[in-house]
Amino acid sequence: MSSLQQAGSQSDPAFAYPEPPSDRTRWILDARPMRREPERIEGRAAAFLWEEEWQGGNTILPGLTVFLANRECPWRCVMCDLWRGASSKPVGAGDILAQFDAALASRQARRMDWVKLYNAGSFFDVGAIPPSCHDGIAYRCRGISRLIVESHPALIGDRVRSFLRLLATGVTLEVAMGLETIHPIAHERLNKRTRPVDFAQAAGRLKEMGVGVRMFLLASPPFVRRDRALEWLLRSVDFALDAGADPVVVIPTRGGNGAMERLRVAGDWEEGPLE
């Protein structure tokens, strides 16, 4: 019985989330609505944004966020909907660099202090971002102060060190990781195949390398009662800060991927403001 069912929520056992972790990925995939393969033009990013980001105090700096068109992430988290824009075909190193170039070409006279390269997965997944394009990415980031990429904590190690050696002097690398929540039951059931301690250990390895750490949290994750969501969010923020994350980014939890709708019916997720 789920934590939300224990709280008295109405539930439908036909939509029950599997207890064995080995069955969860299939349940998540089966819940997906039918979709058409997104049409994409080679060398064009899924999207990019010129935006400003708060740096602490009164400092706000401009930069470029590029959402690279890429393959689907092999970690299929129950709340993720980024697979909607993923390609079923491999994306080569030349295509990755062309996507970055296309976004950079829109710069004109804009100031660019930082760059985020997000690929709806892990930058250090060699099946997503081929290491053969790392040198080209590093070359294109000369002159900025910070490059932010995303990664699963299991990939934090030698691949990060190798890429770090390519960056020009003065460019700080920052790695973003999706901790989501430290609620012990909820975190385990997200299908990330991680524990909160894995994020703390990965953050420690990054800090030892001189790499910055960013962590993402869900405002109201599944498997956490809504009346306890704020409490667990604050606990998760403290955990992330203690692990060395700066910044910590809170993301609203959304439906629309099929799995979250099943969880709502089963009584494992409630939408609405934090209480």
pLDDT in tens, 229-238: 999 999 999 9
Q: Is a pLDDT exceeding 90 seen at residue 87?
A: no
Count of CB atoms situated within 10 Å of the CB of 106: 10
- 197-224 average pLDDT score: 97
- 62-91 average pLDDT score: 91
Beta bridge partners of 251: 218
In whole angstroms, give the CA distance from residue 35 to residue 40: 15
In whole angstroms, give the CA distance from residue 175 to residue 162: 14
In whole angstroms, give the CA distance from residue 256 to residue 268: 15
**Averaged confidence pLDDT in the chain:** 92
pLDDT for the residue numbered 56: 76
Which pLDDT band holds residue 272 (cuts at 50, 70, 90)? confident
For 136-158, write each residue's pLDDT tens digit.
999 999 999 999 999 999 999 99
How many C-alpha atoms does 264 have within 13 Å on its Cβ side?
15
Q: pTM of the prediction?
A: 0.92
Q: Is a pLDDT exceeding 50 seen at residue 5?
A: no
Q: Is a pLDDT exceeding 90 seen at residue 85?
A: no
Which pLDDT band holds residue 273 (cuts at 50, 70, 90)? confident
Residue whose token pair is 């089963």: 266
Q: Is a pLDDT exceeding 90 seen at residue 250?
A: yes
For 179-207, write each residue's pLDDT tens digit.
999 999 999 999 999 999 999 999 999 99
- 17-39 average pLDDT score: 88
Residue whose token pair is 């100031």: 111
